[in-house]
Amino acid sequence: MRVLVTGAAGFLGSHLCDALLANGDHVVGVDNLVTGSLANLAHLSNESRFAFVEQDITESFDVGAIDYIFNFASPASPVDYMKHGIETLRVGSVGTLNCLELARRYEAKFLISSTSECYGDPQEHPQKESYWGNVNPIGPRSVYDESKRFAEAAVMAYHRYHRVDTRIVRIFNTYGPRLQLNDGRVISNLLKQALLGEPMTIYGNGMQSRSFCYVSDEIDGILRLAASEEHLPVNIGNPTEFTILDCVRLVQKVTGSNSEIKFAPMPEDDPRQRKPDITKARTLLGWEPKINLEAGLRLSLPYFKAALAGIHD
């Protein structure tokens, strides 16, 4: 297959390119490098089945005939999408429509990365795909949440009106090598702080929860969904729930750090709890995550150590 990956220089996009290449596909990776980094693709510089195009997908573009589109372009950490709010709205709306037009033109299959943020600050717990969510449409997170909700609506419309063969993955918190050190996410912040001996920041009282999926599990789930015939959204995430305080303790354990804890104010509209119901992924795709948080943090450590050493060279 000839596959287009947008957001190819990002955390998930670059891991997806690796997995598709390992499957024997030809991959065209597109990114405008707003939050992605060419360092994530450096190891592919001699790969003849991979081509990179620096391109903003909100501008009209065409990479020629393709069989599958994975639309993964978007700032995705709260710090990044709040810094690039308008770009985030545009990439989810105009960018997604451009990609859907390409899929229509070339009769390509299509998969979009959506998010657990579609559920907002959820009042149903754990979150099933059938839950419509509790999103503040005008709050600081709305640039991301509504961009992704619009993107889901656009994908379903192209499926219904133009019979494009589409899929929607709702991704829950994912971590691993190639996370940006400065994306402000909890795992990146805590690992970096622990390794540098800096205070570990907890926003609020640390009793809010998240459920963290290691990147290889996430990519496995996404590829299984890509190969399926399911057009409605599917949650792909690790259902084991941790409070942020638990997370700090685990990071201290795997790094051996004795960094102190520093409490900071809770960001506005920060969801109090998040945990995927993955019954649908289990039954439909035979997928469930294999790597628990402690193991995943240990697997992430070498990357974080090397990246920090690079910064301080």
The structure tokens listed for 285 are: 């795709």
Question: Shortest Cβ distance from residue 72 to ligand UDP (Å)?
Answer: 16
Residues numbered 260 to 299 that lie near ligand UDP (CB under 6 A) are: 267, 270
Q: Does 78 contact ligand UDP by CB under 6 A? A: yes
Q: Which two tokens stand for residue 108?
A: 């390509």
Contacts of ligand UDP in 204-243 (CB under 6 A): 208, 210
Report how far residue 111's alpha carbon sits from residue 134's, in angstroms, rounded to the nearest whole number: 24
Q: Which of 144, 142, 263 is nearest to 207 (CA)?
A: 263
Residue 196 CA to residue 190 CA, distance in Å, equals 10
- Asked whether 190 and 198 are in contact (CB, 8 A), the reply is no
Residues 6+ apart with CB under 8 A from 309: none
Phi, psi of 218, rounded to the nearest 5 degrees: -60, -45
Nearer to ligand UDP, 44 or 202 (CB): 202
Member of 118, 202, 226, 278 binding ligand UDP (CB under 6 A): 202
Least distance from ligand UDP to the Cβ atom of residue 264, Å: 7
Q: Which of 168, 179, 223, 244 binds ligand UDP (CB under 6 A)?
A: 244
| CB of 223 vs ligand UDP, minimal distance in Å | 23
List the one residue out of 57, 63, 144 whose CA is nearest residue 99.
Answer: 57
Residue among 98 and 189 whose Cβ is closer to ligand UDP: 189
Among 55, 96, 142, 189, binds ligand UDP (CB under 6 A): 189
C-beta of 6 vs 189, nearer to ligand UDP:
189
Q: What is the DSSP letter of 93?
A: I
**What is the rounded distance in angstroms from the CA atom of residue 76 to the CA atom of residue 70?**
16
Q: Residue 161 catalytic? A: no
Query: What's the full length of the chain, in residues?
Result: 313
| Total of residues contacting ligand UDP (CB under 6 A) | 15
Residue among 85 and 267 whose Cβ is closer to ligand UDP:
267
Active-site residue identified among 144, 158, 175, 214:
144
* Cα–Cα distance measured from residue 86 to residue 88, given in angstroms and rounded to the nearest whole number: 5
Q: Is 127 in the site for ligand UDP (CB under 6 A)?
A: no
Which CB, 56 or 152, lies closer to ligand UDP?
Answer: 152
- Least distance (Å) between residue 270 CB and ligand UDP: 5
Q: Give the C-alpha separation, 19 to 258, whole Å.
A: 37
Stretch that binds ligand UDP, among 37-45, 90-98, 149-157, 179-187 (CB under 6 A): 179-187
Q: Inter-axis angle of helices 244-255 and 186-196, to 10 degrees?
A: 40
Q: Give the residues lining the site for ligand UDP (CB under 6 A).
A: 77-78, 173, 184-186, 189, 201-203, 208, 210, 244, 267, 270
Active-site positions read: 144
